[in-house]
């Protein structure tokens, strides 16, 4: 397959319009029609990847199988499409420049002056076509981060303009996602901001082929006509994207609006078959008509920004829907929890999840939460730092290793039950010291996790520096904590459980990165079921 088609998604008027969801929804519709599709995100910031970004800045950092630390939109792509992404699916300006500068140092440019045009734009075009050139995809959808008009977006828009010219209109099209604000005082939808943002695109030589219009109210035919006339598109190419109750409604809305049809028509591809969204709709109807509800506390230090835990909250939607359970998440700040108030704050919950995280802030609150749920037999799932906190709590309060800790929090601790592996100790560069991406794990047959996964070998994604310290393995297991998952190559502990508890599981990896609409994650499913039993 050589003739890969390209769809670019740009954004206008404001940020946060949901380009990622529109891209994922379109991809889903094309996928269920039988096309093989992938989605790529280009981020115009200078960080090499979002791995070093504070979650308050940019939400969760999503990790792919190949260990790339990426934008959270890639999580949406995987959850919608049910196929893995990779490093090639997320490129930042930092990475583009790094690659061009590396080439310059190697002398690849043969003495030429290295410039934004053509060198940076060529690098962008290459990155865009990298996925297409694998021959695996009929269609590559590329989301351009940021908003048209931003200074840092300019080289990307120029790259899109050149690619459209090089590949031809039937092989590359542009969807512009824009906002149609509603002025309550005037009782009117306003098209002017969209006209301006399209004009801005046109000044860069790019004429959008399709407008997708975010709106709180339906667009009348006359508004669509006006938008079409002033933005130089056909009326059928003006697609309404009305606010949805859930992001999972958007593919259905886009199907009703015919977005996939106009895209296929423009790309000269067959649009005769109807997309079969039956599995998707089955998920949606269970999600919207739950028979039960559970209350789950999520203990984290970034709870003010829910995007910091995006994959976890989406995993609960997938798992909950599969069991017809509505999962109500109670966001609890770890800094507000103490040994004295933990009972008060947690007693009405059916289950507790202690979230991933880095650094010392809030960890004593997480440890208080673990102690309370362990002693009161409340279902518990600890993810990454959450698992590490469960080990520390057990060492301190069950074994009596006073002040046991992770060397991340207290390098001088006497009982370093969580610590760095020898091989990691001399590395200081913040990007590149972590155990990242997919690692194998072997499960013990007689365990909660085996019951959940129903298989002995699993592969899950990691993102952490510190590990369970095997020096304490015997002491910890003799006291009643079970090691139910181990990395077969390195013997690193990946999963801990407490058998003498209804459901107490801590995992060193991030199961939330692998949950999708069509494949709810078995651990989240088992945890949600345990919470229901405890309701």
Assess whether 221 carries a catalytic annotation: no
Contact residues for 134 (Cβ-Cβ < 8 A; gap 6+): none
Of 434 and 525, which CB lies nearer to ligand GLN in the complex structure? 434
Cα→Cα distances 150→11, 44, 145, 180, 268, Å: 11, 9, 10, 19, 32
Q: Which of 77, 316, 372, 466 binds ligand GLN (CB under 6 A)?
A: 466
Q: Does 407 bind ligand GLN (CB under 6 A)?
A: no
- Measured at the CA of 490, the angle between CA 485 and CA 491, to 5 degrees, comes to 40
Of 18 and 357, which CB lies nearer to ligand GLN in the complex structure? 357
CA torsion angle for 372, 378, 380, 385 (degrees, to 10)? -10
Of 148 and 352, which CB lies nearer to ligand GLN in the complex structure? 352
- Minimum CB separation of residue 373 from ligand GLN in Å reads 18
Letter string b/e over residues 29-53, b meaning 16 or more CB atoms within 10 A of that residue's CB: bbbbbebebbbbbbbbbebbbbbee
Q: Does 217 bind ligand GLN (CB under 6 A)?
A: no
The span of 152-160, 264-272, 326-334, 353-361 binding ligand GLN (CB under 6 A) equals: 353-361
Tokens for 155, please give them: 């080289």
Q: Which of 271, 358, 407, 440 binds ligand GLN (CB under 6 A)?
A: 358
Phi, psi at residue 22, to the nearest 5°? -65, -45
Distance of CA 435 to the CA centre of its chain: 18
Q: Which residues in 376-525 belong to E strands, given as ranges? A: 380-383, 405-406, 416-419, 435-443, 457-464, 467-468, 482-486, 493-497, 504-507
Element (H, E) at 77: helix 73-81
Assess whether 512 carries a catalytic annotation: yes
- Minimum CB separation of residue 117 from ligand GLN in Å reads 40
Question: β-strands 37-43, 90-92: how paired?
Answer: parallel
Q: Which of 49, 73, 143, 408 binds ligand GLN (CB under 6 A)?
A: 408
Element (H, E) at 222: helix 221-231
Q: Does 50 bind ligand GLN (CB under 6 A)?
A: no
Annotated catalytic residue within 69, 78, 158, 512: 512
Of 20 and 356, which CB lies nearer to ligand GLN in the complex structure? 356
Of 327 and 389, which CB lies nearer to ligand GLN in the complex structure? 389
- Minimum CB separation of residue 529 from ligand GLN in Å reads 24
Q: Which of 433, 465, 470, 490 binds ligand GLN (CB under 6 A)?
A: 465
Residue among 124, 103, 130, 126 nearest 114 (CA): 103
Q: For residue 38, give the 3-state DSSP assignment.
A: strand
d(CA 438, CA 426): 24
Region of 431 (left: φ > 0; alpha: ψ -120 to 50; beta: rest) is beta
**Exposure of 348 by Cβ count < 10 A (0-12 exposed, 13-18 middle, 19+ buried)?**
exposed
- Minimum CB separation of residue 266 from ligand GLN in Å reads 42
Of 155 and 357, which CB lies nearer to ligand GLN in the complex structure? 357
Assess whether 510 carries a catalytic annotation: yes
Q: Which of 357, 362, 437, 506 binds ligand GLN (CB under 6 A)?
A: 357
The span of 220-228, 274-282, 446-454, 461-469 binding ligand GLN (CB under 6 A) equals: 461-469
d(CA 184, CA 103): 54
The span of 28-36, 152-160, 343-351, 354-362 binding ligand GLN (CB under 6 A) equals: 354-362
Q: Does 45 bind ligand GLN (CB under 6 A)?
A: no
Interaction pattern, residues 370-389, with ligand GLN; x per rule: CB under 6 A: --------------xx----
Annotated catalytic residue within 384, 393, 460, 497: 384
Of 208 and 362, which CB lies nearer to ligand GLN in the complex structure? 362
> Which residues here bind ligand GLN, judged by CB under 6 A?
356-358, 384-385, 408, 463-466
Active site amino acids: 384, 510, 512
């Amino acid at each position: 397959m050589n003739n890969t088609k390209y769809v670019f998604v740009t954004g206008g008027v404001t940020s946060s319009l949901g380009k990622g969801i529109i891209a994922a929804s379109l991809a889903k519709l094309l996928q269920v029609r039988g096309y093989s599709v992938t989605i790529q995100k280009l981020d115009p910031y200078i960080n090499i990847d979002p791995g070093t970004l504070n979650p308050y800045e940019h939400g969760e950092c999503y990790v792919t199988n190949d260990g790339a630390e990426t934008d959270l939109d890639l999580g949406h792509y995987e959850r919608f499409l049910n196929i893995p992404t990779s490093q090639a699916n997320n490129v930042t300006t930092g990475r583009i420049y790094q690659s061009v500068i590396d080439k310059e140092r190697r002398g690849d440019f043969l003495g030429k002056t290295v410039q934004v045009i053509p060198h940076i734009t060529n690098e962008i075009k290459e990155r865009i076509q990298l996925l297409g050139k694998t021959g695996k995809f009929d269609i590559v959808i590329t989301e351009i981060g940021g908003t048209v008009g931003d200074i840092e977006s300019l080289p990307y828009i120029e790259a899109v303009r050149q690619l459209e010219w090089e590949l031809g209109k039937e092989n590359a099209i542009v969807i512009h996602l824009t906002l149609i604000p509603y002025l309550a005082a005037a009782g009117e939808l306003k098209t002017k901001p969209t006209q301006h943002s399209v004009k801005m695109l046109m000044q860069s030589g790019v004429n959008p082929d399709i407008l997708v219009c975010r709106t709180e109210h339906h667009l009348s035919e006359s508004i669509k006509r006006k938008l079409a006339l002033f933005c130089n598109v056909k009326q059928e190419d003006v697609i309404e994207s009305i606010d949805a109750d859930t992001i999972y409604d958007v593919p259905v809305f886009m199907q009703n609006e015919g977005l996939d049809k106009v895209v296929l028509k423009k790309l000269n591809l067959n649009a005769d078959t109807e997309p079969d969204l039956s599995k998707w709709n089955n998920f949606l109807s269970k999600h919207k008509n739950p028979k039960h509800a559970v209350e789950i506390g999520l203990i984290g230090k970034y709870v003010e920004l829910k995007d910091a835990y995006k994959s976890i909250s989406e995993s609960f939607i997938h798992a909950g829907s599969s069991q017809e359970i509505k999962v109500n998440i109670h966001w609890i700040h770890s800094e507000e929890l103490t040994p004295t108030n933990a009972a008060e704050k947690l007693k009405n919950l059916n289950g507790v999840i202690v979230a991933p995280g880095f650094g010392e802030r809030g960890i004593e609150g997480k440890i208080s939460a673990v102690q309370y749920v362990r002693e009161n037999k409340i279902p518990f799932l600890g993810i990454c730092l959450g698992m590490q906190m469960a080990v520390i709590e057990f060492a301190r309060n069950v074994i009596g290793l006073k002040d046991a800790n992770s060397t991340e929090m207290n390098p001088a601790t006497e009982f370093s039950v969580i610590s760095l592996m020898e091989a990691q100790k001399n590395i200081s560069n913040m990007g590149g010291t972590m155990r990242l991406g997919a690692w194998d794990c072997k499960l013990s047959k007689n365990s909660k996790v085996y019951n959940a996964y129903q298989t002995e070998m699993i592969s899950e994604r990691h993102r952490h520096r510190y590990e369970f310290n095997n020096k304490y393995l015997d002491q910890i297991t003799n006291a009643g904590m079970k090691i139910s998952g181990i990395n077969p190559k390195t013997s690193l502990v990946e999963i801990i459980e407490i058998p003498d508890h209804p459901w107490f599981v801590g995992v060193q990896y991030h199961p939330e990165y692998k949950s999708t609409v069509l494949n709810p994650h078995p651990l989240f499913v088992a945890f949600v079921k345990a919470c229901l039993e405890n309701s």
